[in-house]
Amino acid sequence: MSRIYNVSSRRYFILVGFSDQPQLEIVLFWVILIFYCLTIVGNRTIILISYLEPRLHTPMYFFLSNLSLLKLCFTTSCVPQMLVNLFGPEKTISYIGCAIQLYVFLWLGATECILLVIMAVDRSVAICRPLHYVSIMHPRFCLQLVILTWGSGLIQSMIQIPSTLHLPFCLHHRVDDFVCEVPAMIRLSCGDTTYNEIQLSVSSIILLVVPLIVILISYGAIAKTILKMKSTAGQRKAIGICGSHLVVVSLFYCAVTAVYLQPKSQYSQKQGKLFTLFYTVVTPILNPIIYTLRKKEVKIALRQLGKRNCISWEIYRR
C-alpha cells in the first residue's frame, strides 16, 4: 500500500493534540474555554471603547483596536475546532476546514507581524518627534497603513498555502498538532519538502526576523530619546507606553519563532504544541490586559461609558 495519497482522495485530517493524555485534554478544554471567553470580552471591549470614546480617537488606539480585531478573528479561526476535538473522542477536521484554517491562520499571523512593526514605529514617532506626530500619523495615513497590513498578510497566505496543500501527505493523515498550520502540515508529508521548508524559512525571515529588527531599531531610538529627557514624569510615561508593546512583542515572537523557524527540527513535538497553544490561546487574552485595560485613560473611558449606559437605562425606564 502506498504511504502517500493525493489530497483529493481524502476528505479529512486527524488533529492529534494530546490524545494520548485524555485527563490533560479535559483540563485543557476548560482552561481554553475560559481563556477564549475572556479573549472575546476583553478584545471586544477595546474595540468598543476605542470607537465610542472620542478621547481615544488617536493613532495608537486605532492600531490597538485593529490588533484586537485581529486577535478575535485569529482565535475564532482555530479555538472552536480545538474545543470540539478536546471535548470528544473525534479529532477530525475536514479537508476544506483544514484548508480554510491554514489560509486564515497564516493570513492573520502575517498581518499581526506587520501590525506590531507599525505600532512600534508609531510609538517611535510619538516619542522621538512629538511636534511632528500629528502631521505624520494623520488619520488617512493610518488607515492606509492598516489596509496595507491586512492586504500584505493575505497575499502571503495566498502565496504559501497552495504549495502546502499540494504536498504528498502520509496515508495516516494524522496532524501532530491542535490546528492546521504550515509546519505541522510539512511534518505530515511523506515526500520531499525541501521547497516548502525553504519557502517557509524565507517567509519567516521576512515576517519574523526583519520586523523584529525594525522593532528593535525603533525602540533603540526611543530609549535614546528617553535617556535625554529631563523630566522624570515624562520618562515614566514613555516607558509605560512602550513597555507594554515590548512585552506583547516578546511573547508573540518567541512563541511563533520557536514553531515556524524550525518546522522539522528534533525538538519535542509536545514542546512545539505548547508553543502553539500559547500564541493561539494565551497571547490574545494578554493583549487587552497588557495594552489597555490597565491604563488610566481606558479606565476613565470605561467609567464614563458605564455612567452613560446607566443614565440611558434610567431614561428608558421612565
Rounded distance between C-alpha atoms, residue 163 and residue 68, angstroms: 30
Instruction: Identify the residue with better confidence: 227 or 239.
Output: 227
Q: What angle do CA 183, 187, 191 make, to 5 degrees?
A: 125
CA–CA dist 287, 296 (Å, integer)? 16
Q: Mean of the pLDDT values across residues 293-297? A: 59
Q: Is the pLDDT of residue 26 over 90?
A: no
Compute the CA torsion angle 101, 184, 38, 284 (nearest 10 deg).
-90
Mean pLDDT of 244-259: 77
Residues 6+ apart with CB under 8 A from 185: 102, 164, 165, 167, 169, 175
Cell (9 digits) for 51: 470607537
Residue 10's pLDDT is 55
Domains in the chain with CATH codes: 12-317 (1.20.1070.10)
pLDDT at position 265: 52
Enumerate the β-bridge partners of residue 93: 13
Q: Which one, of 169, 201, 179, 173, lies nearest residue 265 by Cα?
A: 201
Q: In this predicted model, what pLDDT tens digit does every residue of 52-89 receive, in sequence order?
A: 877 778 898 899 899 999 999 999 988 988 888 888 77
Q: What is the pLDDT of residue 298?
A: 66
What pLDDT score does 147 carry?
Answer: 95
**Dihedral sign for Cα atoms in the order 55, 60, 62, 67:** negative
| Across 117-132, average pLDDT | 88
Is the model's pTM score more than 0.85? no
Q: How confident is the model at residue 309 (pLDDT cuts 50, 70, 90)?
A: low
Alpha carbon 196 to its chain's center: 23
pLDDT at position 1 is 41
Task: Tell me the per-residue pLDDT of 180-215, one tens digit each, with 9 for 90 and over.
Answer: 888 888 888 888 888 888 888 888 888 888 888 898
* Residues near 215 by beta carbon (within 8 Å), at least 6 away in sequence: 116, 117, 120, 249
